[in-house]
Structure formats: structure tokens, C-alpha cells
Amino acid sequence: MKKQIALIALTFIGSVIISQNKKYEEQMKNNVAQMDTARSKSHVQKITNNFERIAGAEKKEWLPQYYTALGYIKLAYEESGEAVDVFCDKAEMFVKAAEELKKDNDEIIVLKAMIASARISVNPMVRGQQYAALSASLLEKAKKINPENPRAYLQQGLGIYFTPEMFGGGKAKAKPIIEAANEKFKTFKPKADLEPNWGAPTANYFLNEINK
Amino acid sequence: MKQTVTYKFLFTITAMLLLCINTTAQTKIYGKAYSSKGKPLSGVNIAIKNSYDGATSDSSGAFQFETSDTGKVTLSGIMTAFIDFEQTIDLKNIPIKIEFVLFPSINELATVQISAGSIEASDEKRTTVLKPLDIVTTAGGNGDIIGALKTLPGAQQVGEAEGLFVRGGSNSETKTIIDGMIVNNPFFSSVPDIAQRARFSPFLFKGTIFSTGGYSAQYGQALSSVLVLETQDLPDRTASTIGVTTVGFSAGHNQLWADKKMSIGVDANYTHLGPYIATVKQQVDWVRVPVFSGGSFNFRKKFTDTGILKFYAYYNSSDLANKAQSIDSVREYKPLFDLKNDNFYSILTYKERLGEKWILNLGASYSANIDRIKIDTNKIKAFNELSQGRVVLSRGYGRNSIVRFGGEYQYLSDHSSYNQLTRFMYDNYTAAFVETDIFISRKLVLRIGERYDNSTWLRNDKFSFRSSLAFKTGLFSQVSLAYGQFYQKPEKDYLWRNRTIDFENTQHFILNWQYVSDSITLRAEAYYKTYENMVTTSPKYQCLTCAPPEVFYLDTANTGGGYARGLDIFFRDKKTFPGIDYWISYTFLDTKREYKNYPKSVTPPFAASHSGSLVVKKFFPRKMWGFGTTYTYSSGRPFLNPNNTEFMGDRTSDFHALALNVNIIRTIGKAFTVFVFSVTNVLGSKQVFSYRYSYDGARRQEIGPQAPRSFFIGMFMSFGQDRTKDVINNNN
């Protein structure tokens, strides 16, 4: 009888844990799906807030930290002037938290490169050289860890796309890299269900822009 | 027995189920988020700490969610750039309504700042009037720090002498300070009627504060103004530079260690004005065209995350000689002016955080300067040395308040000779200061400081009081008041004549209003200054043995004085015309002083009633080029005409100058390259700084620029280990 009670109790506790896990997965899945489609600033802010809450509750999971950072980077892109730095600072905070949970991860390094690129817009004359170099070296690092990461190629391609032609940038030079990213998106399989799998539509969009 | 066990079992299950029901019971939380201005705030993340439960406020600031938690929990409201809101709430299945206000987080825009009297250029702070890059891209500035600062209100357009003439003060009343310590010879040695450049490259500094009055008790020995320069920390990468210009070459290398904790840099430069002088006709005849050569070395090391040691050493040698027609001679007579200069400057500083609240700044500096001058047949040699040390401790308290205190010591020696006559003087100068910035609220800050100066040469000491008050009147605007007492040792020429003279002194009263947003800066400052104890001279003829010549000497006394009052206005706008950044400054100055050999109180030759600048910059980011233009105006300045019975009664004609520069940025091979083209006085306006009269007053000479226009073309290349290009090249 005692055994039975213990078994029931265990099942009960287990089911609580499972339901907690299920909640995490459900919430994450829902928000990751929304992050891909969110267009308006307020929508991105809302999803980022959702991730930030999950990140606060699930301190051992790197993915909520990762997606919160990604959200703040997207918000930084929407800003101009010095507000960009404020959002980048916040994104950096979550990137650091993610890094502590998951060391030497190519996806997290790609986010760091994105933050560096975003910061250029605050003052291109002063920051251009320094942050472009930082971003490029981070993307190289990410590619070294995982040569098949399409987002590293995409960000590298976009960096070149937005660099003035006389600095070796421009559409023509960006094209082969974004094409490479596009190829890698076709074969890319995330390691786990919730792991980063975004960016294919962006690569497509910019390829269309280039081929116009 | 079995029965009881079953009961117990059922009881446990029921209890668990009840517990389960209890945990799934929902408490509704709803309310609104407002900004400190009372407007609804959208996008706020409202959350129960350490749980998934929460919501984002909508466009009306409203939020609503349900939570299954019970008991006491922390509810937070978080939004980027605002201070987090937190409140403990008790969840008991009863709906809870919460309304809260978020305050902008303490950033420079939201917090009042001490601003009276000072104009700052910095990349680190967000709300500065200028950025360091502005200093090098201002047309007419020719890459000289002083050139750019002269486009700011408060500074006079004086072309015949180096330095900054601020608010009725002479150039000797402005002191240059690097990392807290005074620089004795910040400019290349004076040449009659030709303003010299600042010795130090603007690229050495990460921050510049140009204070036109009312400055902190940290700084002394300046009656009118301080130019506070802060050197760069570690470079962000290893890089080499090469510069080729119409006047010379330069090359440098900065090596950053892989751990990014140490760097070493060297550079060398050589300037030869020969080709330039051959192309552009000059006012004077050059016997030996100016040649400057020198170099510098720097070492920076971070011993800890918060501590940095910096060392910088500079050496430069110059050589020039010219001849200009003497006004006292009717026939052609061109006496020689020959100058050879050697200058050495070094500075060592260490900054470290001590514990949570304390910051320690240590500094030491040694500099030496030798001028060997020949004027006609006379030989002058001037050799001065300055050794100094400085300690400053600061401690934060309260939310933003800070207290700083420290001391400095200087040993200054001066050996000079005029033909066979020699003189030697030295001074042991000690100073101490204490100052605190008290933030009474985020809108109100008060700075109070006291300084003590002691000179053993003058056998005298002084206490001076400084204070500043700033009050924030709106999100972007603030009003400030400042008052200060400032003491300065009289100029060296007077010091060695008379050891009983006193410090000269000024008092500044400043009222400032400013509006600083991301794109618009408007700043207006009114001031009143009193001058006291200014050194006056009177010639004395003394008959020692009577038959041989009379001995002539200058008697000095602290009987002079004067005043200066005026209005400085600065407006900068980066928004109205897309892509165009411009600023306008206007300076009104009314000043009179009695000093030196003035028979009465008059407006000195370095003061114009009205002056101003318009600086316009446009950069084309896609094509990576830009241009800048600077127009400067100054009303006529007084000059001494011996034929006029009124002392300094004459005025020069108005001064106009239009300068133009073009910067083109390219990558050549792997080098980031900047081409600079600049022209001063594009329109060729006639510029007369002053006149020089012959002894009998019959003839006069114009004192003006060396050539109506000056040109500069330069190419600056930087070879960084910039991976961008590697990456791009690898993918081609």
C-alpha cells in the first residue's frame, strides 16, 4: 500500500514537472512562431516581453535569453540615433546571460555581431570602422564553430549589402554571400525543436532586392 | 487497519486534489502604466517575478492578466530606458488593480548637469555640444584643436598670436590641462605676428572640455579659461597610419596586445614648409623656412578591469628664421628673427577604482622647453622646466552625488639669458582642493568647491571659492548659475622683476540657459567678470653713479584691474535640413582693463565687441565624402596709434573669413584613407589684425596673415587589422 501511495505521489509530482515543462515548450513554441511573423514594433515588443518573462522564470534555459536578446535587437533596428544604444545595451545583457548558460554557441555569437552592426547607425562616421570590424570578426568566429549556420552568412551578406560600394560593399558583392546563406537555409536543421531557425524569408527578400 | 490506510490514502489524494485546484485558481491583475508626465505608457512588461505570468501594456497603457500563484509575490513593471517598478502584492483570488508610474532611468538627458561656462566634446557622454570628430572636420580649423574651438562663443578671433582669448582675457589667462595637469608650452614657440598651432594632435584625446568661466576647483592658475583634455584609453585595435600633406609626412603605429590589456604606440612626423612657401607668396622673407620634426611614444596598460596606467612622451624640434622690414627704418632694413626650439613633454597617469565607491587618480608630468632666439644681433635663450605631481580621490555618495579632493605640486624653473645677462627663477607651487556635487534631486544640483594655492616664489597663498547651481526646467532644458574666484601668478616677465607682487585675480558671475536634445542645441550664457590686482608697469630711470648711463627698469605693482561682461549664444541644429549639420555662435563682449603699461582703463587689442561663426557640415554617407564651410566675423579691434591722443582709440576694420574643406573617404588597398582639401579665406577678404607704427608715428605697417589665402592638401591612411576587408576579399 505504502508503495502504491509513493508511486501515486511520484506520478503526481512527475506530472507537475511535466506540465511545467510542457508549459515552457508551449509558450516558447507559440512565441517563436510569432517572432517570425511579427512586423509592427508593438508586436515585437510584446513578444520580447513574453520571452523576457520566460527568461526570468527559467533561469537555466538559454533559449529564452537568446530570443529576448533577438527581440531587443529587432527593436534597436526600429530606433534611430542614440536610442539604438539603449536597446543594444539591453540586448547585450541577455546575450551575456545566454552565453553563461551556453558557451561558444554560434547562434549567440551571431547575435553579438548583429548588436555590433546595429550600433554603427548611431554615428557611422565615428563608429563605422570599429564596429564593422568587430561584427565581421564575430561572424567569422560563428562560422568556424558551425560552417553550416545560415544566419552567420546572412548577417555577413547584409553587412556588405549596407556597406557603401567604395568600402568594398554593395549589392553585387553581397549577392554571393546571401546566395550561400539561402542555400544553407534549405538544408539547415535546428539541433532541437526550439533552437534558432529564423531568417530564411529575410535572405529571400534581399536576394529579390539584389536581382531587381 | 486496511480501512484506515485506505482512508488515509483517500484523504491524501483529496488534499492533493484540493491543493491542485488551489494552484489552478486564478487571480486577475489589471491596471494601467503611466509615464512620469502622466501619459499612458505602452509596451511595459508587467510580470510576476520568476513566473511566466504577465502582460504587455497596450496603447492606452492598460494591461490585464491572470495568475495561478498565491501568497505574496513581487509584481514588476519593466520598460527599456525607464526605472523598474516593483511592488509586493498578496494574491488571494481577489482581482487586484494596480496603477503605476515609470520614471526615465538616470541618464544624462533626464538628470541635471553642471553646465555653466563649459562646452564639452565627448563620444562617451550622449549630451555634449560637440563630438571629438567635429574638432577635426571643422573648416578653417586645419585640424588644430584651437581652430575648432575658436568657432565657439566666448573665444575671440585673434589671428596674430596663438592660444585662446576668452571673454576679455588674454591668451595667457587660458590654461591647457591634459589629464588634470597643466601643460606649460601647449603651442609651438611664438613667432612675431604669426599664430602658432597647438602641439598636440586632436586624435590623442577622447574628451575635450572648453570652459569659458566658472570652472571647477580642480583647476587653478587660470584667470579666464581652461581647456581640459582627456587622453585616449587603449586603442580598439592594432593599426598603422601614414600621412602625406603639402607640408610634410607623418607615420605611426599602435600595437594592441591580444588580451586587449596593453598597447604601445609610436609616431614620427616631419614638417617642411619649403615647398609650400615657394608656392604661396608670404609677407616675410624666410631665411630658413620652418622645419619641425618630432615624435611621440605611448604606453597604456590595464592592470585590472578598472585600473589603467597611461604614459605619453613627446619630443619636437623646430627651426626657422625670417626677415621683415623694420618700420623704424626708411631704407630697406630687415632685421633677423631666428628661432630654434626643442620641446619635451611627458605624462604618466594611473586611475583605479578602490572598492565600490572610491576612485583614485594619480599623475606625474615632466616637461622642458628651450628657445634659442636671435633678434637682429641680440641673442636670447629661454629654458624652462616643469615637474609636477597630482593626487585626486573621489567618492560617490547618495544617488549621483560625488565628492572630490586632492592636491598638486609643481616645481617650475626658468633660466633665461639676454646676451650676457642671465636670470634664474624657480617656484614651488602647491595646491589643494575639495569639491562636491550634491544632487538635491534629479532636477537640482549644487557644486561647492574651495581651492588653495601657494607659491614660494611669491611667498603668498590664496583661498578661492567656486560654486555652481543647475536646475532642470524641462526634459531638455536647464538653467545654471555659477560664481568663482580665480587666482593666477603674474606673467613670468613680471615675476622675476619683483617677488613682492601678488597673484592677479578675477571673479566670474555666470547665468546660463541651455536646451540640449539629440538634434538641437541652444545655449545662451550671460556673464560678468571683474579683474583685480592686475600687474601694471611704470618705467623708472635711476641714476646710480650718474656719469655712466642711467639704469632703466620697470616698476611693477598690482594696481590694475578691469571688467568684462557679455553674452555668448550657441545654436546647433542637425535636424531641420536633412543631412546638414550646422552651428551658429555669437559673442558679445564689453571689456576694459588697466594693466601692463596702459595709462588708463581701455578695451584691450584682443577684444572685439561682436564676433561670430557659422559652421556648416554636410556628409554624404553613400558616396563617403563631405564638405564643411566656416564663416567667421569679428568687428574691429582696438590698436595703438601714437598719433591719436586717445590711447587705443582706433579700431581695425571688420574681419571676415570664409574657409572651406572637403573630406573624401576611400579604401585604397587595405587602407582606410581620408583625403583632406582645405582653403582658408576663400574670398580673399582683406584681413588686418592690427597695425604697427614707427617710433615717430609717421609710418605704419599692417599686421595680417602671412598670405591672403592658405591651402592644405593631405592624405591620411590607416592600416588597421580591419577584418571587414579580409572577409570581403576572401569572398570575392
CATH number at residue A61: 1.25.40
Check: CB of residue A149 under 8 Å from CB of residue A105: no
Residue B5 forms part of a structural domain: no
pTM, two decimals, is: 0.76
B70 in the same domain as B135: no
Instruction: State yes or no: pLDDT of B710 exceeds 90.
Output: no
pLDDT for position B626: 86
B433 in the same domain as B556: yes
A60 — contact with chain B (CB < 8 Å)?
A: no
B164 in the same domain as B55: no
d(CA B465, CA B455) in angstroms, rounded, equals: 18
Domain boundary among A128, A146, A164: A146
A165 in the same domain as A126: no
pLDDT for position B35: 87
How sure is the predictor about B108, in pLDDT bands with cuts at 50, 70 and 90?
A: low
Residue type, B621: P
pLDDT mean across residues, chain B: 88
Interval B242-263 mean pLDDT: 92
Cβ-Cβ contacts under 8 Å, B57 against chain A = none
B186 in the same domain as B42: no
Residue B593 forms part of a structural domain: yes
pLDDT for position B380: 95
Check: CB of residue A80 under 8 Å from CB of residue A88: no
Which of A49, A82, A127, A156 is the best substitution to test chain B (most B C-beta atoms within 10 A)? Answer: A49
Check: CB of residue B227 under 8 Å from CB of residue B177: yes
B458 in the same domain as B393: yes
Please give the residue range of the domain that contains residue A131: 40-146
CATH number at residue B267: 2.40.170.20
A162 in the same domain as A142: no
B212 in the same domain as B358: yes
A132 in the same domain as A51: yes
- What is the torsional sign of CA B153, B157, B162, B167? negative
Which of B68, B80, B102 is the best substitution to test chain A (most A C-beta atoms within 10 A)? Answer: B80
Domain boundary among A146, A172, A189: A146
How sure is the predictor about B299, in pLDDT bands with cuts at 50, 70 and 90?
A: very high
Interval B282-292 mean pLDDT: 92
Grid look-up 617642411 returns B272
A136 in the same domain as A65: yes
B617 in the same domain as B516: yes
Domain boundary among B72, B102, B132: B102
Work out the minimum CA distance from B50 to partner chain A, whole angstroms.
4
A135 in the same domain as A152: no
A56 in the same domain as A139: yes
pLDDT for position B213: 94
Cβ-Cβ contacts under 8 Å, B123 against chain A = 123, 126
How sure is the predictor about B732, in pLDDT bands with cuts at 50, 70 and 90?
A: very low
Interval B601-610 mean pLDDT: 97
* B468-482 pLDDT, tens digit each: 999 999 878 899 999
Which comes out higher in pLDDT, residue B317 or B396?
Answer: B317
pLDDT for position B729: 35
CB contact under 8 A, B80 and A72: yes
A84 in the same domain as A49: yes
pLDDT for position B135: 77
Nearest by CB to A126, which of B131, B237, B672?
B131
How sure is the predictor about B186, in pLDDT bands with cuts at 50, 70 and 90?
A: very high
User: What residue of B is the nearest CA neighbor of A81?
Assistant: B518
Grid look-up 533626464 returns B110
* B379-394 pLDDT, tens digit each: 999 999 999 999 999 9
For chain B, the domain total comes to 2
Instruction: State yes or no: pLDDT of B112 exceeds 90.
Output: no
Please give the residue range of the domain that contains residue B489: 118-730
Q: How many CA atoms lie within 13 A of B614 on its CB side?
A: 6
A22 — contact with chain B (CB < 8 Å)?
A: no
Residue A140 forms part of a structural domain: yes
Residue A24 forms part of a structural domain: no
Which residues on neighbouring strands pair with residue B714, listed in sequence order?
Answer: B245, B676
Short-list A160, A198, A197, CA closest to A176: A160
B366 in the same domain as B317: yes
pLDDT for position B18: 47
Instruction: State yes or no: pLDDT of B363 exceeds 60.
Output: yes
Residue A13 forms part of a structural domain: no
Short-list B451, B528, B402, B480, CA closest to B222: B451
Residue A126 forms part of a structural domain: yes
A183 in the same domain as A161: yes
Residue B14 forms part of a structural domain: no
pLDDT for position B109: 55
B97: cell is 488593480
Per-residue pLDDT for chain A (212 aa), expressed as one digit of tens each?
A: 666 666 666 665 665 566 678 889 889 999 998 888 888 899 999 999 999 999 999 999 999 999 999 999 999 998 877 788 889 999 999 999 999 999 999 999 999 999 999 998 887 777 777 788 889 999 999 999 999 999 999 999 998 998 877 777 888 999 999 999 999 999 999 888 899 999 998 999 999 988 88
Residue A35 forms part of a structural domain: no
Domain boundary among B102, B131, B165: B102
Which residues on neighbouring strands pair with residue B731, listed in sequence order?
Answer: none
Q: Report the complex ipTM.
A: 0.86
d(CA B554, CA B412) in angstroms, rounded, equals: 24
Residue A19 forms part of a structural domain: no
High-pLDDT (> 90) share of chain B, %:
62
For chain A, the domain total comes to 2
Which comes out higher in pLDDT, residue B333 or B546?
Answer: B333
Short-list B348, B421, B426, CA closest to B384: B426
Interval B6-31 mean pLDDT: 63
Domain boundary among A105, A123, A146: A146
Residue A7 forms part of a structural domain: no
Interval B328-353 mean pLDDT: 93
Check: CB of residue B169 under 8 Å from CB of residue B587: no
E strand or H helix that includes residue B667: strand B655-668
A52 in the same domain as A139: yes
A116 in the same domain as A166: no
pLDDT for position B252: 93
A115 in the same domain as A165: no
Which of B13, B53, B728 is the best substitution to test chain A (most A C-beta atoms within 10 A)? Answer: B728
Q: Which of B144-148, B350-354, B536-540, B545-549 comes out lowest in average pLDDT?
A: B545-549
pLDDT for position B546: 55
A131 in the same domain as A58: yes
Check: CB of residue B367 under 8 Å from CB of residue B345: yes
